[in-house]
Structure 1
Amino acid sequence: MKHSSSVRVLLTRSIFLSSCLAATAIQAAERLDPIVVTATRAPQTIDQTLSSVTIIEREEIEGLQPQQFTDLLRGRAGVGVADTGPFGKPSSVFTRGTNSNHTLLLVDGVRMGSATTGSPAWQYLPPSEIERIEIVRGPRTSIYGSDAIGGVIQIFTREGREGPPRVNAFVGGGSFNTRELGAGVAGGTAKTRYSLSASHFDTDGIDVLTGVGDDDPDGYDNASVSGKVRHGFDNGMEVFGSLLYSEGRTEFDADEFIFDPETFELVDVRPFAPAYSDYRQSAVRVGVRRALTDTWDTQLALSQSRDELFTLEGGSVADRESRFDTRRDMADWQNTVSLPGGWLLLGGIDAYEDRVSSTEAFAEDSRYNVGIYSVVDGQLGRHDLTASLRRDDNEQFGGKTTGQLGWGLPVSGTTRVRASVGTAFNAPTFNELYFPGSAFFEGNPELDPEESRTLELGARYASGPVFIDAAVFHTRIDDLITNVTDDQGRFSPRNVDEARIQGLELEGGYQAGDWIARAAVTLLDAEDRETGNELRRRPPASARLDIDRRIGNLSVGGSLLAQARSFEDSDNTERLSGFATFDLRASYAIDREWTVSASAQNLFDRDYVVARQFGTDYNQPGRGLFVTLDYQQR
């Protein structure tokens, strides 16, 4: 196994460093412990959960001033990001070194993602509409079903609070001819809460691929709206609903290959112009919840998500068009029962159906999945215990059972250790199963789901303004799906590979007085067991450091992101160099309602590459300067 000895040394040193930091941390005033719901589907404080969790609140989102959603994930503990250019270009998110389609994305509880590719469109998520992000690392298939081998990322949209209607608005712009604006209103009463907001982002972008397509910048625009409402009745019943909708266009570079019709020899290469994709994605959910007894709560929710993409490549010979639309209809009935002794029993049934409409004639264009799940959580003496079990029945591959066990023990008033073991699976995509045969690719309806087993050991220290969390993990994935060449020279997916991924995550934070600091380090050993090579685009080390300070009405801060080298190809011959970037930011509160903010991203104008295609690097933006004016009615 490559890098195993160096990784072990770094693991030992990092755990020792964490222990020293915890032992020397100064205790201070009591800290409000954030609540997380994604880990078990039930509210828990982050110190109570037996999972590795990162929470990003609205205050932090506004402070970081991100231009795109993946800016908020980049460099977090256990999370890797590789995007094929900035501003709306396809992005991959690797949680604990697993594939991008091994991370489940939820928006207010709604499953998101394309059934054809299997991956969410991370690049189209609007930061301005997000209230909170929960990142849960480690398998969660036994709770949510397929896709959650590496973990779950859940987004909660903006929501209202009790009080009169309050308006918020912003306008901004900056480098690459970037413009953005948005407005919203939120409020509520003791029984009703509501929020409605809309935003628009537009940029000329940069030329993503040098020497491919035309030399013009590849622009991007995004128009989004979100809304959320809930109302409680006197009889204890509550109804709720949420919506997130985004649409826009992203441009890209592509070449048209001209062949001689008689000899089939390549005679010319010309840029496709125009070349763009029009996209739409949405998540809608409505439901009702009620306490049936003093100890039994029930909730029924219906939801739908859409992922739609139309692509046009304008050529000199003929335009090339394609359309891939996915609709997912879902229902979830969840019950929560409080048992004697402080135990909690959670169980339910969820079902969803995927439908595909496309210019390609898929052999199958729909399939359903029904899952029954249960979670038990409680204490035996000083020991914290949690267990989950799920059975899925899928129209394509039949039944699959997954489970997870977790254990925790407080070893002092400030430190708790934890351990867990869990299984997970990932269902093949419609492209992998049913894509019609072409000259280059053909689906394989005989594919089996990818399966995994994960072992995790962790510890968390929290005292006053300081917290430190460390976790080591080992994941083995069997029946990995990879493309192989068939007898006719076409690529076709097969269950052939096995991967072993192990690593260390360190995360820490300090918040007291005028100072806020957050840091994360990930050490990763992701290996293809068949070849002994590293998995592509998985750097063995990455780190992130955010430091902010308030000085009166002025706040200043910076973010340092560093990433070790990685490989673009599975043969490990195309090396992507390591890099580090630094962002600087500041904001000034003009008064209680008006704030002006400015940021300099990639301040030192570093050149770096996180993805490559056919030997051509996907360009990343150089130094970018942005200014925003915010209004928040008080």
Structure 2
Amino acid sequence: MNAAYRKSNLFGKLKLNVVETGLLVFTVESLWSHRGDPGPLGQESSNALMKERMASGRIDFSQTISKDVSYELRVYNRDSRQHYYNPDGYLLIDDTHHVRSLGVELQGNFQLWGRSPFTIGLSYRKDDVSSTNLGDVFRVTKSAYIQDELEWKGGDNPIGLKGITVFPAIRADDYSDFGFNVSPRLGIALVFHDHLGLVLKGNIGRSFQAPTLNDLYWMEDNFAKGNPHLKPERSANFDVGFSFSRNMPLVLRGSVAYFANRFQDKIQWQPGAGGKWSPQNVGTARTRGVELETEVSTSDGRIVAGGSYTYLIAQDNRGRTLLYRPKHSLSYSLSLASRGISLRFEGRAVGRRFYTVANTKWLQPYTIHNIGVRIQGRMMAVDFGIHGRVENIFDVRYQQVADYPLPGRRWSLRVDLSI
């Protein structure tokens, strides 16, 4: 079947209080994997394999200068290498793919002269791709953004309005390969005095999404390949809704939101010749729907139950449903905690999803359930955590991508140590 999979992962984090009001955090991670690439049903490959190596490091420093000024600085580096080998095709494939990313981000938070808080951010990132079948390409991304909060107190009024907060924001991105673009956004929240903790809120804005390096240059294997001819995705976005929170013997929270988005040149991965997936620009597309969320918990947080439901209509300019966008999706969770031991049940149900552009074929709905346990404690000045998890506990057979069955029941165990 050529579905063997081996993976090792090493993760480390070190926190240092280098100054009284500052925190320095070092994070490192390395990953190695070796997996068979069986290909889609009906086009199986018994010898293709993919090897991956990844190493990353990140430094975060945050400091509170005064009660009105703070900042956060992040510097990161990531090195990823892939080697794909397939002797089963018409031609031998032996490709390597190397991606290096280096970036820095700075964010300042201010609340001066008694006014509402505002945030300013800057970032710089460079990505280099070196591939045997693509050659060498790079991208430099420079970004800046600012967000403000403008608040007015409601005072005494017949509708019980406690206050209004407006959130204007703007972001500018400059891509070396896709040019300069500005994305504005405006949000508003109306807070009421009532016993439900009612908040009415809404957002409107525009966004610009350049194709990711994976979209453009994904190394071709049995499953997929990138598309270097993609255009950027642009969208206009709108949402409106309300949330509430009430403390009874139990804490009850919930929210309802309606959203609508219009996309130009939306990027969508879809199957091409031979069933191989590649991203394409759809043209004009629209999504709209309703999201419902609710949560109930005890006042001490030891028992928490929650659920969410999404109704989604996602269509292109010809009225066809976008690929893999279910009309109905549902999730739930239940957490129980006591004296360093916590138990969590969760699950999700996903409706029918079309996997052909013409909407002539679809994947059947599925429902899966997971369970996890976590034990935390301290021994000999070392904090430890033991995490056990069983996914798909009823061993349901399902597919998220057509012709690529997912594993059944899965077990995992993780141990964390903190000195």
Sort the TM-score into its range (normalised by shorter chain).
0.7 to 0.9
Is residue 2:359 matched to residue 1:572? yes
Task: Report SS of the residue matched to 2:266.
Answer: strand
Q: Which is richer in strand?
A: 2
Is residue 2:19 matched to residue 1:242? no
Counterpart residue type for residue 255 of structure 2? D
1:608 alignment partner in structure 2 = 398
Give the superposition deviation at 1:608. Answer: 1.9
Quick one: distance in 1 between partners of 2:49 and 2:12? Answer: 25
Indicate how the Cα distance of structure 1 residues 347 and 621 shifts in structure 2: closer, same or farther if over 3 A, else same.
Answer: same
Task: Report SS of the residue matched to 2:211.
Answer: coil
Asked if 2 retains the 8 angstrom alpha-carbon contact of 1:220 and 1:251, the reply is no
Indicate how the Cα distance of structure 1 residues 248 and 345 shifts in structure 2: closer, same or farther if over 3 A, else same.
Answer: same
2:157 alignment partner in structure 1 = none
Is residue 2:165 matched to residue 1:384? yes
TM-score, with normalisation over the residues of structure 1? 0.54
1:421 alignment partner in structure 2 = 204
Asked if 2 retains the 8 angstrom alpha-carbon contact of 1:444 and 1:492, the reply is no
2:191 alignment partner in structure 1 = 410
Quick one: distance in 1 between partners of 2:376 and 2:76? Answer: 40
Among 346, 349, 360, the alignment partner of 1:559 is 346
CA-to-aligned-CA distance 1:541-573 (integer Å, 9 cap, x gap): 111112244689986653332111111122111
Give the superposition deviation at 1:427. Answer: 1.0
Quick one: distance in 2 between partners of 1:352 and 1:319? Answer: 35
Give the superposition deviation at 1:395. Answer: 1.5
Quick one: distance in 2 between partners of 1:298 and 1:216? Answer: 50
Give the superposition deviation at 1:628. Answer: 5.1
Quick one: distance in 2 between partners of 1:253 and 1:392? Answer: 39
Give the superposition deviation at 1:585. Answer: 5.5
* Percent identity for Structure 1 against Structure 2: 20
CA-to-aligned-CA distance 1:68-93 (integer Å, 9 cap, x gap): xxxxxxxxxxxxxxxxxxxxxxxxxx
Quick one: distance in 2 between partners of 1:483 and 1:537? Answer: 10
1:455 alignment partner in structure 2 = 238
Quick one: distance in 1 between partners of 2:25 and 2:338? Answer: 41
Among 128, 137, 146, the alignment partner of 1:374 is 146
Counterpart residue type for residue 403 of structure 1? P
Q: Which is richer in helix?
A: 1
Quick one: distance in 2 between partners of 1:293 and 1:556? Answer: 40
CA-to-aligned-CA distance 1:414-438 (integer Å, 9 cap, x gap): 12111011211111345766899xx
Question: For residues 260-409 of structure 1, what are the structure 2 equivalents within 5 Å?
Answer: 271-273=45-47, 275-291=48-64, 295-315=68-88, 319-362=92-135, 365-381=137-153, 382-409=163-190
Task: Report SS of the residue matched to 2:326.
Answer: coil
Higher relative contact order (CA 8 A, sep 6+): 1
Indicate how the Cα distance of structure 1 residues 387 and 578 shifts in structure 2: closer, same or farther if over 3 A, else same.
Answer: same
Quick one: distance in 1 between partners of 2:306 and 2:27? Answer: 31
Quick one: distance in 1 between partners of 2:332 and 2:225? Answer: 43
Give the superposition deviation at 1:575. Answer: 1.1
Quick one: distance in 2 between partners of 1:581 and 1:297? Answer: 43
Task: Report SS of the residue matched to 1:610.
Answer: strand
Among 520, 523, 527, the alignment partner of 2:315 is 527
* C-alpha RMSD over aligned residues: 3.9
Give the superposition deviation at 1:476. Answer: 0.7
Asked if 1 retains the 8 angstrom alpha-carbon contact of 2:225 and 2:278, the reply is yes
Gap regions ≥5 residues in structure 2: 154-162, 271-276
Task: Report SS of the residue matched to 1:220.
Answer: strand
Question: For residues 18-97 of structure 1, what are the structure 2 equivalents within 5 Å?
Answer: none
Indicate how the Cα distance of structure 1 residues 375 and 609 shifts in structure 2: closer, same or farther if over 3 A, else same.
Answer: same
CA-to-aligned-CA distance 1:143-202 (integer Å, 9 cap, x gap): xxxxxxxxxxxxxxxxxxxxxxxxxxxxxxxxxxxxxxxxxxxxxxxxxxxxxxxxxxxx
Give the superposition deviation at 1:334. Answer: 2.5
TM-score, with normalisation over the residues of structure 2? 0.79
Counterpart residue type for residue 198 of structure 2? T
Q: Which moved more, 1:281-290 or 1:589-598?
A: 589-598
Counterpart residue type for residue 239 of structure 2? E
1:502 alignment partner in structure 2 = 288
Among 543, 546, 566, the alignment partner of 2:333 is 546
Give the superposition deviation at 1:479. Answer: 2.1
Task: Report SS of the residue matched to 1:469.
Answer: strand
Among 251, 258, 261, the alignment partner of 2:36 is 251
Quick one: distance in 1 between partners of 2:226 and 2:3? Answer: 34
CA-to-aligned-CA distance 1:558-603 (integer Å, 9 cap, x gap): 3332111111122111210112223456678999999988665434
Asked if 2 retains the 8 angstrom alpha-carbon contact of 1:249 and 1:276, the reply is yes
Give the superposition deviation at 1:359. Answer: 0.8
Quick one: distance in 1 between partners of 2:11 and 2:253? Answer: 35
